[in-house]
Amino acid sequence: MNKPAELEIGAVPVWIDGKPLASARRFGEVFNPATGQITKRVVFADASIVDSAVRAAGAALPAWRDTPPLRRARVMQKFLHLLQTHQKDLARIVTEEHGKTLPDAMGSVQRGIEVVEFACGIPHLLKGEYAENVGTQVDTHSVRQPVGVCAGITPFNFPVMVPLWMFPMAIACGNTFILKPSEKVPSASLRMAQLFQEAGLPDGVLNVVHGDKEAVDGILNHPGIHAVSFVGSTPIAKYIYETCAKQGKRVQALGGAKNHAVVLPDADLEFAADALIGAAYGSAGERCMAISAVVAVGAAGDPLVKLLEKKAKAIKVGAGDASGIDMGPLVTAQHRDKVAGYVEAGVKEGAKLVLDGRAQPIPEEGFFLGTSLFDHVKPQMSIYTDEIFGPVLVVLRAQTLDEAISLVNRNPYANGTAIFTESGGAARRFENEIQVGMVGVNVPIPVPVAFFSFGGWKSSLFGDLHVHGAESVKFYTRTKVVTTRWPHQDTPAPGFHMPTLG
Catalytic residues: 288
Closest CA to 328 of 35, 30, 28: 35
Integer Cα distance of 285 and 171 in angstroms: 31
23: buried, middle or exposed (CB in 10 Å: 19+, 13-18, 0-12)? exposed
Integer Cα distance of 172 and 196 in angstroms: 12
Integer Cα distance of 248 and 251 in angstroms: 9
Closest CA to 332 of 43, 51, 29, 106: 29
Tell me the backbone φ, ψ of residue 253, rounded to 5 degrees: -130, 105
Integer Cα distance of 327 and 99 in angstroms: 9
CA distances to 132, 328, 334 from 444, in Å:
48, 20, 28
* Residue 403 CB coordination number (10 Å): 16
Helical segments of 9-101, H only: 47-65, 69-85, 87-98
Q: Reduce the DSSP state of residue 208 to 3 states and report it.
A: strand
- Contact 294/260 with Cβ under 8 angstroms? yes
